[in-house]
Structure 1
């Protein structure tokens, strides 16, 4: 039986969510920044940790600068 990556307790079949190639408890699959409960396949990951697609992942790892894309976003 696999252990949850967050709490390291056994994950039983009836309570598991599979994401990032591992099995999680439903309440343990949370954003690493804002702690929001996530759904399988509806989030991003960075270095094996789950993040909300918006705004957490974008704010931490997205493009930097004014406008977040387009001609005005370049940092000089």
Structure 2
């Protein structure tokens, strides 16, 4: 069963990531919705996030002086 849509994932359509089988379009960032590739993303509490900027902004180091998306807090 796909963790996103809860439908059966057949062999020809599956991608495996985070120890689960997904439909390719269902493996997307929890924050921005960008489609992800297996192994090319970050995970937090079992949910996939794109490495940059979403994961870095949400769960990376906070504070100023670092620059880039890491120092910006999204709301």
TM-score by length of 1: 0.85
Aligned residues: 68
Cα RMSD (Å) = 1.5
CA distance in 2, matches of 1:68, 1:10: 43
Q: Which has the higher helix share?
A: 2
CA distance in 1, matches of 2:9, 2:65: 43
Give ranges in structure 2 of 5+ residues lacking alignment: none
> How far 1:7 sits from its partner (Å)?
0.1
Q: Where do 4+ consecutive residues of structure 1 move more than 6 Å?
A: none
CA distance in 1, matches of 2:38, 2:65: 30
Q: Rg: which structure is higher?
A: 1
TM-score by length of 2: 0.87
* Per-residue Cα deviation, 1:3-39 (whole angstroms, up to 9, x for no partner): 0000000000000000000000000000000000000
